Structure 1
C-alpha cells in the first residue's frame, strides 16, 4: 500500500520543479516585493533551523501567531520542513488583546503540548507570559541556501496542520486537517475557481483563517499558480487597495467574505473620482465569496459598482466551506449568475420549505445558492437523528469525502458529535434544491423563545431590510431571563437623534412581530463596529449574548425591559 504524499513533499516538489517561479508578491507600504519559490524555501529553512536550535523536536506542534506576510508563510513551511505540525492562531489585534487573549493562547498551547511557538516581531510583547514557553519572533531577512533536492521529513502522522477556533472559550478546538485533505481540497478549489499557471490569486485574507491559508496560499502553490498577498489591516484601511493590488499583480481570481464586500461598497462610494483613474478589472475573472452568510443585495451592489471598471457580470462566485472540511464543500460553477430562492419559512428552524415567487406570501426568506458539491464530495441534509432528508427540507448539512478532518485535537467528545463514522456534521442548517445547496443558518444560533424556534439569521435578514439598519451588523441571539430564554436584537447604527433611534427600535420590534409573531425582549442600538466578531470578522452571537447578560453591551438606545 503506497504512503500518502505529505504537504512538505508537495512544497519541495514545487520548489524543485520551479525554483525561479515568482510565486509570492507581497503588498507592502514601500511597494510590492516578489519572492521566488527558491527564496521562499530559503526563508522556510531559516524558520525550521530556528525551531530546531531552540529545542523543538520533530513531531511537535508549533503555535504560529501571525497575520500575513513573508514571516507567516516562511514560518508555516519552515515548521513543516522541520517535521513539525503548524498550529494557526489569530494574533492580538484590535479587541483581541489583554488577559482574555492571553488566556486563549494559553489554552491553545496547553492543548498542543507545545515547547515553543513562532510569531511576528510586532506581536512578541503581547504574547509575553501567555504560555509556559516562549514565542520566538521570526524576522526573515536573507534566505538560507537550500540543497537542490532536500529530503522531506518523515511525517509523524496523517495530520498536516491545526486550525484553531477563534471563539472566546478557555480551551479552543483544534481542527486536525490531514495531508490528504489539503491535497484533495486545494485541487478542488483550484479546479472550481480557475487557479493555475498564469492565473494569480490576490488575497487580503489572513493566513490563520482557512480561506486565506487553504484557498489563497496552498491552492495557489499546489496548482502551479502564484499569490498576491495583502495584509488584512491594509484592506480594512483602504479596501480599494485590494483591487489595485489585484490589477498590478495580474490576478484573475480573488476572494472575500460578505462583510468585506459590504465594507468595500461603503468605502467605494466615498472615493474621490481621481482615485479611480486607471482602475481596470477586465482581467479579474472570479471573485470567490464565502466564509460568512452571503447577502444578495451586497453582492449585487458590488457588481453594479464595479461594472463600469470592467468587472465581469458573472465574476462573483459563492461558495460554502469550513475548516472541519479543510475548506471548500460546494461552489457555484463558472458562468452561473448569482442565484437566489425565496421560500416560505417552516414554523421553526427545521422543516420543509416551499419556493414562492412572492415576498408577501407569508413568512419568507431569500436564500443564496452556494452551488454544487466540489469534486467527489457528498453533501446531504439530515435530521437530528442523522436520517437523510429529501430536497427542500431544512436540516443539518452533512459532508463526506477525503477532505473531512480527522477530528478535534484531544477532544474525543466533540469529535464523536461532529464526525460520526468519518462524516462531518457541520452544525450548519440548509436545504438542497435542484442539487444546489442553500445555507440558512447555524444550529447553535437557533433561539428558543416562548416555545418558538427562531433562526437568528432569518431575524437578522429581516431587520437588515429597514432603511436605518442596512449599514451595520445586526445580531439576533437568545439571552437568559427570569422567564427563560428570550430573543434580543442588537443593531449597529450611526449616531442620530434620540427620536430617530427610538423610531428605528420601534420599527425593528414591529417588523419582527409581523414576520415571526413574537416581540423581542430587547432591541439595542449600538455604535458601528462594536458588536463582537471573530478573528476573521464574523459576528459572534455568543459573544453578544455574554456581554448582554453581564450588562456590558454599551448601547446608544435600548427598548425593552427583559430582566437579566
Structure 2
C-alpha cells in the first residue's frame, strides 16, 4: 500500500487572510493551491488526504445534485456534522447552491437513542429544512426524527451516487445568510444563529490577524464540527486562511486523547490547536501514570495552544505544563480566548506569547465592587481572555445599561461586523439580546487595561445572602472528590421552605449500593461546605440523567427545570 502524504504546510500560493466576499470565493482560492484537510484514525495515523482542490470539486458536484433536486436559495439543509470528507463537501455544496447548511450534532453527546432522536427532532422543527442528510449508519435515528417533522431525509452515500450535471450556480451576496449555527442554549428551545458571509469572513480574518498566522503554521483539531469552535475555528477558518489541517474525530479523542498530541508531535511546521479546558485536563490525567513523555511527544512546535468554549481553569493548565514540559511544551503557548456563536465565534483573543494571566478576585467583589489583585482571604482565580478581536468592541455595562470602568464586574456587551443577523424565526429572542447593534452576551466580566476577564454566566449565577456564587465553582469542588468527573454534576439555585435561596446539586451516581450513595452524598455536602462555606441540597441521580445542550455542554437551566417539575427523579436514600 502506498504511504499517504499529508497536504503540505508550505505552499507557493500567496496567503490571503479571509479577504473574500463569500465562503464560496474562499474555497475557490484555497483550491488553487496545494494545502488541504487530512483525516486521521483513532491511533493518529493518517487515513485520508483531502486537498482543498478535491473538496471544491466534490462540493460543486454536490451543489449540482442539490439544484437538480429542487433545492433553491435560502433553503435550509440539515446535515449531521461528522468530521470527514462527506460533511465538508456537503457544507460547501450547500454554499455553492445558495442554500443554508445547518450542522446538527452526532449522537455521542446524548444519553441514548431516544434522547438523540428527540434532540434532532427539536432542531429540525426549529430550522424547518428542505432536506436532512446524514451518515448511513444513523439511518434509523435520523429517519425517525425526519418522519416526526415531515422532512425529506437521505443518507449522504445516496446523494453522492446521483448524477451531477454542471449548471449555472446562483450568485451569492456577502450580506446574505450563509449558514445556521445552533448555539449552546436550551435543547428544548434551540436558537439557530443566522450568520452572513460577511460576518463569518470578518470573524475568520480576526482569527488570522489575532493569532498572527505564519507560513509555517498548520492546524490540528479534534473539535466537533457541530460546535462553533470546531466548525468556524477549525474548519471554515482553515479554508479561508489556506491552512493545512489534521483532524481526528471527537469520539476518537475521547477514547485516545493522547493521539491528539501524537499528531501534533508529527506535524510538519508550527502548530495551532484549540481545546476546551477539559481536553488539556484529560491528557494530563492520562499521562500521569506514564513516564518519559519526551520519548513519545515533541511539543516544542506547538506555537498556539488555544483555550476556549468553557471557563478556563488555571490549575488544570498548570497541570498540563507540568505533565508535558519535558516534551517541549511551553506555557507561553497558551492562547486564552472568549467567544460565542452569536458573534460567529471570536470576541477576544490573547496576544500570542503572553500565555495565561490570572487575577485573584475576592468573592465579595463578584457582586460588582472594585476588583483588587491583592490576594484576599477568599478569592477566585479569573483568567485573562485577551483583547477585543479585530473590528470588535467590548463594553462592560451595569444593570441600567451604564458603561462601567475598569475592574468593575458587569454584563459583557460586544459590537462588530461579525455579529449574527438574528436568531432564525425568533424575533423575540433576537430583540432581547441585540440592542442598537450591540450583543448582550449573557456573560459577566470586567475589563482591565484593554483585556477582558470573564467570571461566569449571568443566568447561572447563584445569589445567597447577597453574595454571588458561580455554579462552575461548586461543581469543580465536587469534581475533586474521587470517582466524580466533569459533566457528572449540575449546580443551581432553588428556593427553600423558608423562602431563602440555596444551592442544589445533582450528581450522577453509578453505584447501586444504598449505603454507598448515602456516604457519597454526605461527602459531597462536607466538601461544598468546606470549600464554599455554605450548606446545600445534594441529590444523587442515575447516569445520563443530566441534560445537555446542542454542543454537548451541561444545561443547568434545563436541569433545574426538570428537577423542580419532577422530570428528574433522584434516588431514594435513607436519612
Normalised to the residue count of structure 2, the TM-score between the two structures is 0.85
In structure 1, the residue corresponding to 2:394 is in which secondary structure?
A: strand
Q: 2:380 & 2:219 partners in 1: Cα distance?
A: 33
Residue 233 of structure 1 corresponds to 251
Q: 2:392 & 2:460 partners in 1: Cα distance?
A: 26
Residue 372 of structure 1 corresponds to 387
In structure 2, the residue corresponding to 1:13 is in which secondary structure?
A: helix
- After superposition, the Cα gap between the structure-2 partners of 1:340 and 1:80, relative to the gap in structure 1 and judged at 3 Å, is same
How far residue 71 of structure 1 moved from its aligned partner, in angstroms, is 1.1
Residue 33 of structure 1 corresponds to 48
Residue 24 of structure 1 corresponds to 37
Check if 1:259 corresponds to 2:278. Answer: yes
Residue 16 of structure 2 corresponds to none
Q: Which has the higher contact order (CA 8 A, sep 6+)?
A: 2
Check if 1:309 corresponds to 2:327. Answer: yes
Deviations 1:235-293 (A, max 9, x none): 0010001111223343511010112222222222245x589743211211111000000
Residue 112 of structure 1 corresponds to 127
Find the partner of 1:354 among 371, 374, 380: 371
In structure 1, the residue corresponding to 2:405 is in which secondary structure?
A: coil
The answer (yes or no) to whether the contact 1:90–1:535 under 8 Å persists in 2 is yes
Q: 1:259 & 1:545 partners in 2: Cα distance?
A: 23
Q: 1:425 & 1:453 partners in 2: Cα distance?
A: 20
Deviations 1:429-472 (A, max 9, x none): 011122211111111102245665533234445556x5558854
Q: 1:196 & 1:144 partners in 2: Cα distance?
A: 41
Q: 2:387 & 2:323 partners in 1: Cα distance?
A: 28
Residue 327 of structure 1 corresponds to 345
Q: 2:323 & 2:532 partners in 1: Cα distance?
A: 35
Check if 1:268 corresponds to 2:284. Answer: no
Q: Any residues of structure 2 matched to 1:426-505 within 5 Å, and which? A: 426-449=441-464, 453-461=468-476, 468=482, 471-473=485-487, 474-479=489-494, 482-484=497-499, 485-491=501-507, 501=520, 504-505=523-524
How far residue 157 of structure 1 moved from its aligned partner, in angstroms, is 5.2
The answer (yes or no) to whether the contact 2:492–2:505 under 8 Å persists in 1 is yes
- After superposition, the Cα gap between the structure-2 partners of 1:311 and 1:513, relative to the gap in structure 1 and judged at 3 Å, is closer
My pick for the range that moved more, 545-554 or 379-388, is 545-554
In structure 2, the residue corresponding to 1:396 is in which secondary structure?
A: strand
Normalised to the residue count of structure 1, the TM-score between the two structures is 0.87
How far residue 79 of structure 1 moved from its aligned partner, in angstroms, is 0.5
Q: 1:403 & 1:548 partners in 2: Cα distance?
A: 37
Deviations 1:201-234 (A, max 9, x none): 1010111111011111111111121111211001
Q: 1:352 & 1:98 partners in 2: Cα distance?
A: 48
Q: Any residues of structure 2 matched to 1:492-531 within 5 Å, and which? A: 501=520, 504-511=523-530, 514=533, 518-520=534-536, 522-524=537-539, 531=546
In structure 1, the residue corresponding to 2:360 is in which secondary structure?
A: strand
Residue 12 of structure 1 corresponds to 28
Residue 551 of structure 2 corresponds to 536
Q: 1:471 & 1:93 partners in 2: Cα distance?
A: 17
How far residue 380 of structure 1 moved from its aligned partner, in angstroms, is 0.8
Residue 421 of structure 2 corresponds to 406
Deviations 1:117-173 (A, max 9, x none): 2222222221113231122211387999999x9866334952111101354443411
Q: 1:59 & 1:107 partners in 2: Cα distance?
A: 20
My pick for the range that moved more, 215-224 or 235-244, is 215-224
- After superposition, the Cα gap between the structure-2 partners of 1:288 and 1:538, relative to the gap in structure 1 and judged at 3 Å, is same
Residue 278 of structure 1 corresponds to 296
How far residue 419 of structure 1 moved from its aligned partner, in angstroms, is 0.7
- After superposition, the Cα gap between the structure-2 partners of 1:145 and 1:547, relative to the gap in structure 1 and judged at 3 Å, is closer
My pick for the range that moved more, 223-232 or 152-161, is 152-161
Residue 10 of structure 2 corresponds to none
The answer (yes or no) to whether the contact 1:525–1:555 under 8 Å persists in 2 is yes
How far residue 101 of structure 1 moved from its aligned partner, in angstroms, is 3.6
Q: 1:537 & 1:170 partners in 2: Cα distance?
A: 14
Residue 232 of structure 2 corresponds to 214
How far residue 372 of structure 1 moved from its aligned partner, in angstroms, is 1.0
The answer (yes or no) to whether the contact 1:72–1:207 under 8 Å persists in 2 is no
My pick for the range that moved more, 22-31 or 121-130, is 22-31
Residue 298 of structure 1 corresponds to 316
| Long gaps (5+) in structure 2 | 1-18
Deviations 1:333-372 (A, max 9, x none): 111131111111346x5412432432xx344211011011
The answer (yes or no) to whether the contact 1:42–1:143 under 8 Å persists in 2 is no
Q: 2:233 & 2:221 partners in 1: Cα distance?
A: 9
Q: 2:462 & 2:217 partners in 1: Cα distance?
A: 44
Find the partner of 2:217 among 183, 199, 202: 199
The answer (yes or no) to whether the contact 1:447–1:455 under 8 Å persists in 2 is yes
My pick for the range that moved more, 108-117 or 425-434, is 108-117
Structural RMSD (CA): 3.3
My pick for the range that moved more, 489-498 or 173-182, is 489-498
The answer (yes or no) to whether the contact 1:392–1:433 under 8 Å persists in 2 is yes
My pick for the range that moved more, 83-92 or 490-499, is 490-499
Q: 1:109 & 1:539 partners in 2: Cα distance?
A: 21
The answer (yes or no) to whether the contact 1:512–1:519 under 8 Å persists in 2 is no
